[in-house]
Amino acid sequence: MTTSKPVNASTLKRTLGTTPRQSAKSRLRGIEAATESRHLIDGLGALDDLLKKPGLRSNQRFLHQTRHAMLSRLADLTGTDVASLSTPELSGAQWVTRFPGSNSTDTLADAFRSGVEAFVGAMRMGGVSVTISATLRPVERAYLMHWSWIIARLGGNPKDVPQMDSVDILWDHGDAAASMQAAEDMVQRYGIVAEPALTSRHTQGLAIDMTISWAGNLAIAKRSGAATTITSKPRTGMNIDLIAVGATYGVIKAKFGNDPPHWSNDGH
């Protein structure tokens, strides 16, 4: 699976060949720039090979940022526009598996994580079934989800979408229907049903989606250690007594009504 098309090395080498040379000093600078440029081109080739490797996950952002930084440096050295050196990849469903979201509490922000882990631990200790479906959502994923929705469902112009350095995507297919269809393919593959926010408690590592259920009465400790028994219904994450217990751990049930699995640091 490719995350970006390779840099066109022969085009770059031709560009380098046109560097004007005058004084000895500028000639030396030219040689240095050419050497550095050749190293950058080699490095970019290696980086593109790495980005094609299947199963690459956690380092994608770093590699894309490195790629962008190398392209920017190359643009400086060659006096070329960075956009002309990079070949972004067209939008489409293949983007959906990239920049995956996490369902581990390890990825949560420290301040929120300790409370979540203690709360989930207390629930499990009481015999509650807790299934975590989402924690941290990378900003790149939020960006891809947000703009695919805007183009596919709200008639957004793909030319107006701002670039994100670590996502080398081309939203504009040069044809309005094709651009909209590619965005729609992404919306469906993501399973989006409402406009995704560019930043949210999930992109900040301050939210968790979890499905919660238990049978009978639930004996559970508050964060202070005080024991409480929940006899009320429903026996799910929507239970008002469980929500009160969660709050003692700094894990606040969603304040908006249409997102049953969602908890965060402040209810947003």
Cα–Cα distance for residue pair 86/7, rounded to 1 Å: 6
Site string for Zn ion, 248-267 (x = CB under 5 A): --------------x-----
Question: CB under 5 A: which stretch of 17-25, 77-85, 95-103, 203-211 binds Zn ion?
Answer: 203-211
How many CB atoms lie under 10 A from the CB of residue 174? 9
CB of 171 within 8 A of CB of 158?
Answer: yes
Cα–Cα distance for residue pair 21/101, rounded to 1 Å: 50
Question: CB under 5 A: which stretch of 24-32, 104-112, 138-146, 206-214 binds Zn ion?
Answer: 206-214
Cα–Cα distance for residue pair 79/218, rounded to 1 Å: 68
Question: CB under 5 A: which stretch of 155-163, 204-212, 215-223, 238-246 binds Zn ion?
Answer: 204-212
Q: At a CB cut-off of 8 Å and minimum separation 6, what does 69 contact?
A: none
Site string for Zn ion, 207-226 (x = CB under 5 A): x-x-----------------
The nearer residue to Zn ion, 88 or 261, going by C-beta atoms, is 261
- Residues numbered 59 to 88 that lie near Zn ion (CB under 5 A) are none
Strands 218-221 and 89-90: unpaired
CB of 249 within 8 A of CB of 208?
Answer: no
Contact between 140 and Zn ion by CB under 5 A: the answer reads no
The least distance separating Zn ion from the CB of residue 49, rounded to whole angstroms, comes to 36
Cα–Cα distance for residue pair 250/234, rounded to 1 Å: 22
The least distance separating Zn ion from the CB of residue 153, rounded to whole angstroms, comes to 20
The nearer residue to Zn ion, 253 or 262, going by C-beta atoms, is 262
Q: Which residues bind Zn ion (CB under 5 A)?
A: 207, 209, 262
